[in-house]
């Protein structure tokens, strides 16, 4: 009997254990990722799964990819309810393949204005509008994150990726970047603020070491990123290829954790640029949470480091948590039913609107805007017929859905264009295509393909053209792209461009007719030697696919130009101090890559050969310190062709300061802006600060606030408020790692450009202040009185 009860007891115990195990298995099976259980999901992950989550899944280049031609995706773990998140390159357009295998649909996206053009609006609301519209396309096509915007400073005019960036000034950079990010993310998709940081040249970009002091690093090269992080909180930040003071950015804890997270309060995910850095374990420790696009050697290195104890698994848990916090925000996680098509017509209108607002009128002797009854015009320059919508690279192929030429733009505005000249250029361009691309134009190129050379009309042809046309328009084009910096020769007109402009100007002026020059360029070009040959100069930069319409809208007065230069136009290359520390005439060949998919994508490493580091190639010394752009030209009174912030209008504006104050931690100036001319228009105001002597050495002025009016009718006024933080006027002391605001009298200058100050007010800071960098997130502790205060 006892044996019977003993066996029954064992049987019941076995049933209970079986039920318990079954419930445990069911519980494990039921764990699915959500916003509340991220830590629990991490505990359920194997070590191998954690490592996978911290590496990308390769670039989506194959025809079998869900979104061909995009940057890639993150790993998925179906058993835990973790989907892939899909990434697409930017910043001018959603970059993906137009065609897909066995699919009759065309997946077109809109080519928006380049970053430079958006910055030239001096209008964060315009940047928001571009971002929101781009975000809508990302959402409509089922993607999750747009790898944009770029917030590196335009340190040198020849940087190959300047077209992606915004300005030589960190405030303008940060404000435009924040507007763009907020616009994109308002659509429920993410951004990736890049390339963090000091990524100011493309030559040897994977190995170049940017060497600079703490002060310019903080005040210039990090400040734009800081503004964007504080005002917009991008979902992700992308570290750069280069080193900063000897460390790869993806392996630099001071950048990715101490400054970015602890000081600025960044709450998102840090990812590497594609195949950036060398040491995967160091990247994990530094807080570079995800390595893209993922490589087998990185997987093995991280796995082995954890097994050996060299890498604490808790660091992986921290980084995985940040990945999952991003995943639960993504549309893919929420199974968004995307339409897989977008409103291209409406988006083209936005591109045209912002592209037109970013055009800068550099010179005008009264020829613009066109008279209503203007006659036939002659279009010169190959770019007039082959306009440049934006820069080249992974984010913009330059071969979008369409690009509006000057011919189309003018014709749509009912302006006749010389047909004989059109036929001449059509023939010339066809011949140039055969010469330049005997095997056909490449479908994709990181760097810009060569462009057609100019041809010179004969004396007889030019005489006939002058007689047949009311005026001449000559367009000069420049392109730029990834992986290659511009050569110094590209800053100047070519021999044929100079000869063409000289001939056209002489012939038309001899007949009492006008010549207009359009600059469809990626950045500054030399203008001082030829500007007198033109009766008007329009700098269109790269205003997107609607470029011909954008320029025509300004020529005709449909749009009153309100763009301002986001960088200085120097008289010649060599005038800026950074020009001596840049590879301006070096032909650098990028190393080859073995392009594959997934973790099979790996770099072909060259044999390690000891060699002496080459200046401006292996390392670049930022010897100019804080004196970049107008900070140098204005302080040392160096003549320029066109100053920072410059731009003309078809009307005039009067400024009147009606109030200025310091209230607590905020500085404020109120200005009445009145349209004193005869046409409706917008005006971009700039507020510069001149600091007192006695503190750290300072430039003669620094931009601290900006604002743009609405469109004002003739005689109409608007009160514009310019505001900034008191500590925005401080300087960074590298020795004490603190921001210092010197006591004394500060001049606040309300201006139309860096050299056109309209009104100045003075305010005294009676007690100096100091803010330790590491206390930036703790307002109660951060402000102390300077010893000399």
Query: pLDDT tens digits, residue range 295-343?
Result: 999 999 999 999 999 999 999 999 999 999 999 999 999 999 999 999 9
Choice among 52-66, 145-159, 351-365, 763-777 with the minimum mean pLDDT? 52-66
pLDDT, position 16 = 53
The answer to whether 273 is a known catalytic residue is yes
pLDDT, position 24 = 47
Does position 415 have pLDDT exceeding 80, yes or no?
yes
pLDDT, position 482 = 80
| Contacting residues for 389 by C-beta, under 8 A, at least 6 apart | 92, 111, 398, 400, 403, 542, 543, 544, 545, 547
Q: How far is CA 26 from CA 23, 32, 502, in A?
A: 5, 12, 82
| Contacting residues for 527 by C-beta, under 8 A, at least 6 apart | 362, 537, 569, 641, 642
Considering only residues 445 and 82, tell me which one the structure prediction assigns the higher pLDDT.
82
Q: Are 575 and 638 in contact (CB under 8 A)?
A: yes
Choice among 56-65, 312-321, 362-371 with the minimum mean pLDDT? 56-65
Does position 475 have pLDDT exceeding 80, yes or no?
yes
- Beta-carbon neighbour count of residue 85 at 10 Å? 27
Mean pLDDT, range 683-704, rounded to an integer: 96
Residues 66-124 have pLDDT tens digits of 999 899 999 999 999 999 999 999 999 999 999 999 999 999 999 999 999 999 999 99
Mean pLDDT, range 225-246, rounded to an integer: 98
Q: Are 42 and 313 in contact (CB under 8 A)?
A: no
Distance, CA of 260 to CA of 236 (rounded, Å): 11
| Contacting residues for 713 by C-beta, under 8 A, at least 6 apart | 675, 680
pLDDT, position 444 = 66
Considering only residues 330 and 394, tell me which one the structure prediction assigns the higher pLDDT.
330
| Strand pairing category for 145-147 and 190-196 | parallel
Distance, CA of 146 to CA of 91 (rounded, Å): 8
pLDDT, position 604 = 41
Q: How far is CA 81 from CA 76, 322, 397, 486, in A?
A: 8, 16, 35, 47
Question: Is 72 in a helix, a strand, or coil?
Answer: strand
Choice among 350-364, 456-470, 593-607, 643-657 with the minimum mean pLDDT? 593-607
- Report yes or no on whether pTM surpasses 0.85: yes
Alpha carbons within 13 angstroms on the beta-carbon side of residue 559 total: 24
pLDDT, position 485 = 86
Return the bridge partners of 218, or none: none
Choice among 177-191, 439-453, 702-716 with the minimum mean pLDDT? 439-453
Does position 63 have pLDDT exceeding 90, yes or no?
no
Mean pLDDT of the chain: 91
Residue closest to 154 by CA, chosen among 448, 475, 480, 398? 480
Q: What phi and psi values does residue 458 have, to the nearest 5 degrees?
A: -70, 170
Q: Which of 89, 209, 273, 485 is catalytic?
A: 273
What percentage of the chain carries pLDDT values higher than 70?
89
């Amino acid at each position: 009997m006892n044996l019977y009860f003993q066996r029954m007891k064992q049987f019941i115990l076995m049933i209970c254990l079986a039920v318990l195990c079954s419930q445990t298995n069911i519980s494990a099976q039921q764990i699915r990722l959500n916003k509340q259980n991220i830590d629990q999901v991490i505990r359920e992950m194997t070590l191998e799964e954690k490592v996978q989550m911290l590496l990308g899944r390769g670039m989506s280049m194959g025809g079998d990819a869900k979104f061909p031609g995009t940057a890639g995706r993150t790993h998925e773990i179906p058993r835990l309810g973790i989907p892939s998140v899909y990434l697409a390159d930017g910043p001018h357009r959603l970059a993906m393949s137009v065609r897909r295998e066995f699919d009759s649909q065309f997946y077109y996206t809109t080519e928006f204005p380049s970053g430079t053009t958006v910055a030239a609006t001096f209008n964060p609301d315009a940047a928001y509008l571009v971002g929101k519209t781009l975000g809508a396309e990302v959402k409509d096509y089922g993607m999750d994150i747009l790898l944009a915007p770029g917030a590196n400073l335009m340190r040198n005019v020849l940087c190959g990726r300047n077209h992606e960036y915004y300005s030589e000034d960190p405030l303008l950079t940060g404000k435009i970047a924040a507007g763009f990010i907020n616009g994109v993310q308002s659509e429920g998709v993410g951004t990736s603020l890049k390339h963090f940081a000091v990524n100011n040249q493309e030559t040897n970009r994977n190995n170049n070491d940017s060497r600079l002091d703490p002060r310019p690093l903080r005040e210039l090269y990090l400040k734009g990123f800081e503004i964007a992080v504080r005002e917009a909180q991008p979902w992700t930040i992308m570290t750069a290829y280069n080193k900063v003071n000897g460390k790869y950015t993806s392996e630099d804890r001071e950048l990715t954790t101490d400054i970015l997270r602890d000081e600025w309060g960044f709450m998102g995910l840090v990812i590497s640029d594609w195949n950036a850095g060398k040491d995967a374990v160091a990247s994990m420790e530094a807080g570079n949470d995800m390595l893209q696009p993922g490589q087998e050697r990185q997987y093995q290195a991280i796995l082995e480091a954890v097994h050996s104890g060299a890498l604490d698994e808790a660091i992986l848990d921290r980084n995985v948590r940040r990945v999952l916090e991003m995943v639960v925000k993504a549309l893919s996680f929420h199974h968004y039913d995307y339409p897989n098509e977008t409103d291209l017509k409406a988006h083209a209108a936005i591109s045209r609107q912002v592209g037109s607002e970013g055009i800068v009128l550099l010179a005008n002797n009264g020829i613009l805007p066109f008279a209503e009854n203007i006659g036939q015009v002659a279009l010169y320059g190959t770019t007039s017929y082959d306009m440049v919508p934006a820069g080249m690279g992974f984010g913009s192929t330059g071969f979008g859905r369409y690009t509006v030429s000057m011919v189309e733009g003018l014709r749509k505005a009912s302006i006749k264009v010389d047909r004989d000249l059109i036929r001449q250029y059509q023939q010339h361009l066809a011949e140039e295509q055969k010469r330049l691309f005997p095997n056909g134009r490449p479908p994709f190129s990181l760097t810009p393909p060569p462009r057609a050379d100019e041809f010179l009309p004969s004396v007889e042809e030019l005489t006939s053209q002058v007689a047949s046309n009311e005026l001449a328009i000559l367009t000069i084009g420049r392109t730029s792209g990834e992986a290659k910096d511009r050569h110094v020769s590209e800053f100047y007109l070519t021999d044929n461009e100079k000869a063409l402009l000289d001939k056209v100007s002489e012939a038309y002026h001899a007949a009492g007719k006008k010549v207009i020059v359009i600059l469809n360029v990626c950045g500054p070009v030399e203008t001082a030697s030829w500007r007198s040959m033109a009766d008007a100069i329009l700098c269109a930069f790269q205003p997107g696919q609607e470029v011909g319409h954008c320029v025509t809208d300004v020529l005709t007065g449909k749009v009153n130009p309100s763009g301002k230069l986001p960088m200085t136009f120097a008289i010649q290359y060599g005038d800026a101090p950074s020009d001596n520390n840049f590879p301006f005439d070096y032909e650098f060949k990028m190393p080859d890559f073995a392009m594959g998919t997934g973790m099979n994508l790996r770099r072909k490493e060259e044999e390690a050969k000891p060699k002496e580091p080459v200046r401006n190639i292996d390392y670049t010394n930022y010897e100019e310190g804080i004196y970049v752009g107008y900070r140098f030209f204005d302080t040392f009174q160096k003549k320029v062709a066109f100053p920072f912030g410059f731009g003309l209008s078809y009307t005039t504006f009067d400024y009147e300061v009606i109030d200025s104050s310091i209230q607590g931690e905020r500085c404020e100036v109120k200005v009445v802006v009145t349209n004193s001319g005869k046409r409706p228009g917008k005006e971009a105001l700039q507020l510069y600060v001149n600091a007192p002597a006695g503190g750290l050495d300072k430039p003669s002025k620094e931009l601290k606030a900006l604002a743009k009016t609405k469109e004002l009718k003739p005689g109409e006024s608007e009160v514009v408020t310019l505001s900034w933080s008191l500590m925005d006027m401080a300087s960074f002391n590298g020795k004490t790692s603190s921001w210092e605001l010197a006591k004394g009298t500060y001049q606040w200058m309300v201006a139309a450009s860096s050299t056109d100050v309209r009104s100045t007010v003075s305010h005294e800071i009676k007690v100096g202040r100091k803010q330790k960098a590491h206390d930036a997130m703790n307002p109660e502790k951060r402000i102390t009185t300077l010893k000399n205060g």
